[in-house]
Amino acid sequence: MDRDTLIARISAAPDLGALDQLRVETLGKSGSVTALLKTLGAMDAATRSVEGPKIQALREAVSDALTSRKAALEAEALEARLATERLDLSLPVEAAPAGSVHPVSQVMDELAEIFADLGFAVAEGPEIEDDWHNFSALNIPESHPARAMQDTFYLDQVDEHGRPLVLRTHTSPVQIRTMQASPPPIRIIAPGRVYRSDSDATHTPMFHQIEGLVIDKGIHMGHLKWTLETFLKAFFERDDIVIRLRPSYFPFTEPSAEVDIGWSTEKGRRVVGGSEGWLEVLGSGMVHPKVIANCGLDPDEWQGFAFGTGVDRLAMLKYGMNDLRAFFDGDLRWLKHYGFRALDVPTLSGGVGA
């Protein structure tokens, strides 16, 4: 078969299958062009010098023709595919799951921002505490009900001083550690996880708490009331916040006061603000002189106030949640509904997302 006939057959190959068959017929192990190449070994030098270049030229021409036709057929196949396939960009596409900020983390950020603008620093401490920091230093005697096993998680370990270890029941030990480590004046908040043996719709074995402490000279209940009023107005982003202080008892404060916040009814729903009724939101009081003395300070020179509240409870009140246990279930539907965007940054003057 001559060169022109081979090239013509290759150029006329209707598809890639037919083209590959022609490749095998010409350049395969038993192909016609391969057979011609094998004859070169039996030729004398004079004949090989004449026939060799012709056979090599035929092989290159056939190879180039096969390559060219293959590219053309592949291009035609792609054009045909593009002409028949369609992508409807109007169809809805389910977005990949997007992460969100947990309401507890969001409220923690809000609280830290508010108190930072009021001059408070954030202090932290260990979640596994010794009996002295968690109870004794806070003027909680050994007979106090808070030490009972039904409230406190005790560990089967003691510290280097032989004191029992517990999962802290409040963040008040951070106040003790701060007063021991830092000279007054002191203005701190202590947010974090705490643990108590309790579980229902409004209690969980682990929950989040934030406490505040101010130690300075000449501190009185008026400073405490103003601080709490300013904080609650900023947090709930309402100017009609009304609070009342009810006498109470805490071992580590004297006098002690429960703080109630007023609520009203809007569109059939109870919301914070106004004074139709009262909700308890905080515990507070003046730091007990014994607690100040336990930290190595002179209670005749230094006074202070302290307060504490549940972060999860504040989130429930502000964002309309009704079951504390849902905070820790890990339900993606709940998190998607109540979660916050990473850019929802709180400020004292503008609220959330300002």
Q: What is the pLDDT of residues 248-285, one digit of tens each?
A: 999 999 999 999 999 888 877 778 888 888 989 999 99
Note whether 63 and 128 are same-domain residues. no
Residue 49 lies in a domain: yes
Strand 243-250 and strand 253-266: the pairing is antiparallel
Return the pLDDT at 353: 43
Range of the structural domain that residue 35 is part of: 3-84
What does the block give as tokens for 253? 């404060």
Average pLDDT on 231-252 reads: 90
Q: Which of 84, 112, 147 is the last residue of a domain?
A: 84
What is the dihedral sign for C-alpha 307, 271, 277, 239?
positive
DSSP string, 190-222: EEEEEE-S--BTTB-SEEEEEEEEEEETT--HH
Which pLDDT band holds residue 62 (cuts at 50, 70, 90)? confident
Residue 56 lies in a domain: yes
Note whether 69 and 117 are same-domain residues. no
Average pLDDT on 32-58 reads: 83
Average pLDDT on 45-60 reads: 84
Note whether 206 and 69 are same-domain residues. no
Most confident of 15-19, 59-63, 250-254: 250-254
Q: Name the average pLDDT for the chain.
A: 86
Residue 325 lies in a domain: yes
Residue 354 lies in a domain: no
Note whether 9 and 151 are same-domain residues. no
Provide the 3-class DSSP secondary structure of residue 275: coil
Q: How many residues are there in the chain?
A: 354
pLDDT exceeding 90 applies to what percent of the chain?
37
Residue 211 lies in a domain: yes
Note whether 59 and 115 are same-domain residues. no
Residue 164 lies in a domain: yes
Query: 251 vs 5, 57, 243, 244, 343, CA distance in Å?
Result: 108, 105, 23, 21, 41
CA dist., res. 95 & res. 113, Å (int): 33
Identity of residue 134? N
H or E element in which residue 103 lies: helix 103-117
Return the pLDDT at 317: 84
Whether this prediction's pTM lies above 0.75 is answered by no
Domain CATH for 297: 3.30.930.10
Q: Which of 51, 84, 117 is the last residue of a domain?
A: 84
Note whether 59 and 114 are same-domain residues. no
Note whether 33 and 122 are same-domain residues. no
Note whether 132 and 77 are same-domain residues. no
Pick 227 or 57 by higher pLDDT.
Answer: 227
Return the pLDDT at 354: 40
Phi, psi of 236 (to 5 degrees): -85, -5
Residue 295 lies in a domain: yes
Average pLDDT on 186-215 reads: 86
Q: List the single range of 170-174, 216-220, 272-276, 288-292 with lowest mean pLDDT.
A: 272-276
Average pLDDT on 211-228 reads: 95
Note whether 205 and 280 are same-domain residues. yes
Return the pLDDT at 330: 79
Q: Assign residue 72 a region: left if phi > 0, alpha if psi is -120 to 50, beta otherwise?
A: alpha
Note whether 40 and 188 are same-domain residues. no
Most confident of 66-70, 89-93, 171-175, 330-334: 171-175
Note whether 214 and 317 are same-domain residues. yes
Residue 150 lies in a domain: yes
The answer to whether residue 351 scores a pLDDT higher than 80 is no
| Packed helices 45-84 and 16-27: angle between N→C axes, nearest 10 degrees | 170
Note whether 108 and 80 are same-domain residues. no
Pick 347 or 353 by higher pLDDT.
Answer: 347
Pick 92 or 65 by higher pLDDT.
Answer: 65
H or E element in which residue 50 lies: helix 45-84
Domain count, the chain: 2
